[in-house]
Structures are given as structure tokens and as C-alpha cells.
Amino acid sequence: MALHAIDNVRHAMQALSIEQNAETSYNTVSRTENVTTELQGMDSVLDSLRECIGWPVKYRKEGAILGVSWAQGVLVHGPSGVGKSASIQHVAREYDASIHTVTPATLIGQYMGESERNLRQVFEKAEEQACHSQKPQIILIEEADSLFPQRKAGSSQQDARLVAQMLTLMDGSVAKSRRSSDSGHLVVIAVTTHPNSIDGALRRPGRLDREIMIGIPDEDARCKILAELIRRMNIVQGFDVRRIGQRCHGYTGADLKSLCTTAIIYSLKQKGSSKEVTEDDFEAAMHDVGASVARSVTDTFSPASWDDVGGLDHVKELLQQYCVWPITRSDDFVRLGIKFPKGVLLHGPPGCAKTTLARAAVTSSGVTFIPLVGTKLYSMYVGDGEAELRRAFTRARLSSPSILFIDEIDTLVGSRGHDDDHSVNVSTRLLTTFLTEIDGIDDSSGVLIVGTTNRPFAIDSALLRPGRFDIHIYVPPPDYQGRLQTLEVHTKNVPLASDVSLCDIAEKTELYTGAELQAVCREATIIALRNNMQSASCVSQQDFLNALECVTPSHTAYELQEYAQWPQNM
């Protein structure tokens, strides 16, 4: 047995030597050829595809000597827009391979058995060309998850028949390729964005032998793609590609291409065709073109600044330390051995700007923002909520650095109950899934979970331990200085009479939250309009005093003390 293992190692070393030194008459495009723009930074992916597409023909003799079993099927998966099909086509051009494309539109027929016949015809044509040609033959199956979904109870007969036909054809093509040693190589490449939706029988060895995952481009890859794209644009001198690339967290190659197009449009709108595209044009374009991987779960994100929230300087400082610094000063964290926090919980009475503070932290850090709405996770079908929760975490990982924001987190992962009520069981399953996902986040993955709640007592204690929601930040109602700043924010566009004293109003609004102070300002303007419908031009001090009689604080000092003492009083 030991001698056999040594022989295997020797053969592997010989194979490596052959791969580096062997000369072949097979004419391929040089690897130094310029790679397609969207494929910049994907060298490892292209090398893996070359091994599956080109090597079985290029190193046919060497592989026969070493007894290599070349991959007959490849599953290429990843988010939309990362270049799955483009990378396959690029490698196919290198080796002059023929591509036989299968899509749902070309395969599915309206009559029973027509889809299976169409699939057989594609395989027959590819196998025939492989027998009469020395070139690789590729059967490229787009949207494989929709063509060959998992067979389970309730699946349509057409899906089951098509999967069974695909299994038969793949087993037959493998047998033919093993019998024929002189023909061209036939490889089946399935492309999908949802690999787990494909029938499991297709993913076993001997069918889709190899799986290649194409992820979101990292910072260096994004900068390479941008540098290639802006070469064709009229760019201003001194354009900082690195800075724009750092800002485009979670962008795919297709997203970056769309970003450049949008930036050109902004430049044309503002300056006309004779001007150059600037970094400001790209900054403006980013508001319209976001990361597509987060687009399906992201509501319209309204940027916010720290100045939108009056006071609460201590809370802002903590959020900058735990939400912004891990992104903007990551090198310092690594140098000092500081562990990145996994979760930050903002708790406090309603109306204290917890959500606005979270949006300000996202805007300040420039990361991808993925809000998770708890109501969307409750479904009439068992398991749908847990699957959607897992997808949200997957998108957060793919588009890292990112912030997964959960407003009113107590409604999603509240304390586990002991009743048999259906809603309690659903909440328990969601909580279990959430705990599993947050434990699976690596400390350096760049994913931060930010939750807000005004019912911290209702959150399950398992979620609050270190390693999950590490940081608990209490967001109290603003103090006097904070109330004054909040009043200034909400009266910025309100014409005030000369007798208005915001300092006096701030003194009279102790225990008021930021939302209640906003309501006071709004009510004062309504009162001013009501008193003088025809010629109201400003809001007076008396209008504010009358508004204070209509809008009163909703929390007592005792209730606020209870909030402030959590979790010590759990």
C-alpha cells in the first residue's frame, strides 16, 4: 500500500512536469491575451475551467499514461453578473471549443416528450462533433436550476422526466468518452445562481464532477475591472480608481459596467459632451446603481448623516467604533489583534432615532446595506421563512463588507415559548436558524448584524451572549443639549418668529424623545396655519407652547429607568 502511494506521488510530480514543459501541436490562444473586462481578477476561475475544457484534449496522451479521468460535468455557480457564462465563453475561445447552448426557452416544448427529445438532440449533435473533431465540445446549460430542479413530492411530471433524461444522457456520454480515446472531449457545464435547487442526483461524482464557485470580486479585482472600463472613457486627470473601487462593496463586473455607463450619463446631464467624467459623477451614480446581490432584499436606502440626529454624542461615538471603524480602519484592528464584533444591538424607548442612527452608520462606513423585514419571513409554508433568512445571510457574506440590519428584532427572534401555538413554533424555528447563521459568521468576514428594539426584555437570552450580539448600546431620549439640537434640525426649514426661544422649549420638553420633538414642531406649524389660514408667515412661541399641550411624553421617568438598567435587571 505504501509503495502504491509513493507511485501515485511520483506520477503526480511527473504530471506537473509534463504540464509545465510538454509541447503540443494543439493551437490555443496565449494566456497572456487580454482577458475580457468583466473577468479581471478571475485567474483562478479561468484556470479551473481550462483544466476541465482544454486539458483533456491538450494533454490527451499524458493523461492516458497517468490514467487521469477527466471531468465530464462541471457546475458553475455564483451570484448574477459575476461572469459565469462569460468566463466559459472566454476559455472556449482559447481552445477553439464549440458551445452547444441549452436554455429553458430552447429546450422546453409544449408537447409531452418534446423537451426530452430536444435534450437528446443536443447531446447527439455534440457527441457526433466530438467523434469527428479534435476540438473540445461544450454543452452549456443555462439556468440549470429551472431545468433540473429537485424531485420531490408535488413536483411536475415534466420536471421529473427531464431530470431522468439528463441523468441517462450524462451516464451515456461518460461511457462513450471512456471507450473513445482519440475523439474530442465532451464536457457538460451547468450554470446556475441557485446550486442547492438542482436535483442532487446530478451533483454526484461521475456526472457534475467538478463545482466551481464564482464569488463577488474583491477590492483588487474591482479596481482592475474599473481600470479597464475607464480606459474607454473620457476621464478627468488624477482620477482615483482605488478610492472608487473601495467604495463599490459587493459590486459585480456587470454592476461596475452599469456604474460607468450611469456616471457618463450624469456627466452629460451636468456638463455636456465636451467635459470629462469625474469622481463626483461616479459618487452620484452609486446612488442609482447598487450591488445587485443585495438588490432583491434591499428596500430603497435613504442615506443619513450623524447631524440628522440631535445630541446622543456618546451613542454616535460607540456606533463609529463598532460599526464604522472595523471597515474604515480594518488594518488597525488586525495589527492590534482586535476581534471584529458580530452583532450590535440598539435598544431604547420608541422614537429615539435608533433606525436613523443605523442608517447614519451605514452611510458613514459606505458598506452594503441589507435590511431584513421580519414580516417577510412569516409564511404559510413550513421552512420558507428559514430559507429566506439563510438567503439574507448568504447575500450579506457575498457582498461583504456589509451590514445586515434588522429593525424591531424582537418580532423576529423573540424568546422561545413553551406553547404549541403555530406562531410560537415558527418563531422558534426562525430563532434557531438565526443562531446557526450568526455562529457561522467568521470574525473577519466583514459582516455585521445590527438590530434595533424597543422591547429588549422580549429577546431570547441565547442571542445576547458574547460571540453573537456582542455590543449592547442604550439609546436614551436626548438630554437638554440634544433636545435643543433636535429642535434646530426639525425647524431648519420652518420660518420662526422673533419671539421663539428654542432653548426655552428644550427646557420644557424633558422626557421627550426625538420623534415626539419632531411631532411638536409639526403640530406648532399646523397651529400657526390654523390660526391664520390666509396670511400665516411664521411660527410663534405661543404656537409651540400650544403644541406642547397636544404632544406629551409617552414615557415616565420610571419606565426610562427600566430601559436604562437592562440587561442588568433581566
The H-or-E segment that residue 295 falls in is helix 292-295
C-alpha cell at 19: 504540464
Q: Which CATH fold would you assign to the domain 306-474?
A: Rossmann fold (3.40.50)
Q: Looking at residue 544, what is its pLDDT?
A: 92
Q: Report how far residue 458's alpha carbon sits from residue 423's, in angstroms, rounded to the nearest whole number.
A: 15
Which sign does the torsion angle of CA 31, 35, 41, 43 carry? negative
**What separation in angstroms does the CA of 341 have from each of 323, 333, 460?**
8, 11, 19
Answer for the pair 408, 365: CB distance below 8 angstroms, yes or no: no
Q: Give the cell for residue 112.
A: 409531452
**Cβ within 8 Å of residue 167, ≥6 positions away:** 201, 202, 207
Secondary structure (H, E, C), 340-362: CCCEEEEECCCCCCHHHHHHHHH
CA atoms within 13 A on the CB side of 62: 19
Exposed, middle or buried, 309 (CB in 10 Å: 0-12/13-18/19+)?
Answer: buried
Nearest-angstrom CA–CA distance, 72 and 88: 15
| Domain 38-213 and domain 219-296 have a common topology | no
Helix axes 279-286, 253-271, angle to 10 degrees: 120
* DSSP assignment string, 147-188: HSBPP-TT--HHHHHHHHHHHHHHHHHHHHHHH-SSSPPEEE
CATH class given for the domain over 219-296:
mainly alpha
Contact 224, 41 (CB under 8 A): yes
pLDDT of residue 116: 92
| Residue-range domain boundaries for the chain | 38-213, 219-296, 306-474, 480-554
Residue 305 DSSP one-character state: -
Cell numbers linked to 517: 420633538
Which DSSP symbol is given to 448? E
Q: State the cell numbers at 351.
A: 422614537
Can you give the pLDDT at residue 385?
Answer: 79
Beta-strand pair 343-347/447-453 = parallel
Closest C-alpha among 265, 267, 291, 297 to residue 279? 267
Report the C-alpha gap between 527 and 387 in whole angstroms: 50
Q: What is the pLDDT along the chain (570 residues), one digit of tens a residue?
A: 333 433 443 344 344 444 444 333 333 333 434 556 667 778 889 999 999 999 988 888 888 888 888 888 999 998 888 889 999 999 999 999 999 999 999 998 888 889 999 999 999 999 888 888 888 999 999 999 999 998 876 678 888 899 999 999 988 875 555 545 566 789 999 999 989 889 989 998 888 989 999 888 888 888 888 988 888 888 888 888 888 888 888 888 889 999 999 998 888 887 666 578 888 889 888 888 888 877 655 455 677 888 888 888 999 999 999 888 887 787 888 888 888 888 899 999 998 989 889 888 888 887 888 888 766 777 767 777 788 888 888 888 877 788 888 888 887 776 665 444 544 577 788 888 888 888 888 766 778 899 888 888 888 888 888 888 888 999 999 999 999 999 999 998 889 998 999 999 999 999 999 999 999 999 999 999 888 877 778 889 999 999 999 999 988 888 888 888 887 655
What pTM, to 2 d.p., does this model score? 0.70
Beta carbons within 10 angstroms of residue 100's beta carbon = 17
Length of the chain: 570
C-alpha–C-alpha distance, residues 98 and 129, integer Å: 9
187 three-state secondary structure: strand
Show Cβ contacts of residue 371 under 8 Å, excluding neighbours closer than 6 positions.
297, 298, 299, 301, 405, 406, 407
- Which CATH topology does 38-213 take? Rossmann fold (3.40.50)
Confidence (pLDDT) at 300: 53
The per-residue pLDDT for 454 is 87
Say which DSSP state 24 is in: -
Chain Cα centroid distance, residue 12: 39
Residue with cell 434595533: 452
3-state SS assignment for residue 176: helix
Nearest to 455 by CA among 529, 559, 367, 304: 559
pLDDT (0 to 100) of residue 369:
83
- The predicted pLDDT at position 183 comes to 66
DSSP secondary structure letter of residue 442: -
> How far apart, in whole angstroms, are the C-alpha atoms of residue 330 and residue 324?
9
Please tell me the distance from the alpha carbon of residue 389 to that of residue 373, in angstroms, as a whole number.
10
Does 480-554 carry CATH code 1.10.8.60? Answer: yes
Q: What is the CA radius of gyration of the chain?
A: 30
